[in-house]
């Protein structure tokens, strides 16, 4: 599927305001509502727009701790990867988990209400998972940028941009 400059503009707007009305969106990209809606539907059906979500403010709920945790596994435990992966999905504190290159095997993003909650997560859940050898916690002291935004400059140069 080919996307042009107007599609890029639509994607930019929707990434900033997922609930913008089709009429407003159409105005911003200088299109009629029907033409605009057709493009949005095409972007959704092609999978380029994956989904729409509400973002909550973690601090408003008293979630004080945000962290990145590097996890190293030992390989002498059976089904260590399957067990660990399944556990990750079930733990609400884990909002992201990735297999990465480098010294650790996994990188987790973990949120907790406070340090006590965080501590109990690490000791009672993470460390008790068979195969977990080493855990390195990197607590977030300050968030400078935290966005899901894929800027037009990033999207361009691929997927056949015309305009």
The answer to the question of residue 101 lying near its own copies (CB under 8 A) is yes
State how far the Cα of 91 lies from the Cα of 132, in Å rounded to an integer: 16
State how far the Cα of 122 lies from the Cα of 100, in Å rounded to an integer: 20
The single-letter DSSP state of residue 2 is -
Give 19's contacts (C-beta < 8 A, 6+ positions apart).
52
State how far the Cα of 124 lies from the Cα of 33, in Å rounded to an integer: 54
Which of 11, 52, 55 has the alpha carbon at shortest distance from 154? 11
Return the residues of window 44-63 that contact its own copies according to CB under 8 A.
Answer: 46-58, 60-63
Site string for its own copies, 5-44 (x = CB under 8 A): ------x--xxxxxx-------------------------
Give 70's contacts (C-beta < 8 A, 6+ positions apart).
103, 104, 106, 107, 134, 135, 136, 138
The answer to the question of residue 140 lying near its own copies (CB under 8 A) is yes
Residue 40 or 69: the one with the smaller Cβ distance to DNA is 40
Residue 2 or 145: the one with the smaller Cβ distance to DNA is 2
Give the range of 28-36, 72-80, 107-115, 122-130 binding its own copies by CB under 8 A. 107-115
Site string for DNA, 56-85 (x = CB under 7 A): ------------------------------
Interface pick for its own copies out of 2, 76, 78, 92 (rule CB under 8 A): 92
User: Cβ-count burial of 108 within 10 angstroms (0-12 exposed, 13-18 middle, 19+ buried)?
Assistant: buried
- How many residues of this chain interact with its own copies, rule: CB under 8 A? 69
The contact set with its own copies (CB under 8 A) reads 11, 14-19, 46-58, 60-63, 66-68, 85, 88-89, 92-102, 104, 106-107, 111-113, 136-151, 153-155, 157-159
């Amino acid at each position: 599927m080919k996307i042009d400059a107007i599609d890029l503009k639509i994607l930019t707007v929707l990434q900033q305001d997922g609930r913008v009305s089709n009429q407003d969106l159409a105005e911003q990209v200088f299109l009629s509502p029907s033409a605009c809606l057709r493009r949005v539907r095409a972007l959704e059906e092609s999978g380029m727009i994956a989904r729409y979500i509400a973002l909550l403010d973690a601090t408003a709920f008293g979630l004080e701790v945000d962290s990145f945790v590097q996890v190293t596994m030992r390989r002498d435990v059976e089904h260590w990867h399957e067990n660990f992966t399944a556990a990750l999905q079930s733990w609400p504190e884990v909002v992201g988990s990735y297999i990465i290159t480098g010294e650790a095997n996994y990188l987790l993003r973990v949120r907790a209400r406070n340090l006590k909650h965080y501590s109990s997560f690490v000791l009672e859940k993470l460390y008790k998972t068979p195969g977990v050898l080493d855990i390195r916690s990197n607590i977030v002291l300050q968030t400078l940028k935290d966005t899901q935004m894929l800027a037009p400059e990033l999207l361009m140069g691929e997927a056949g941009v015309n305009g």
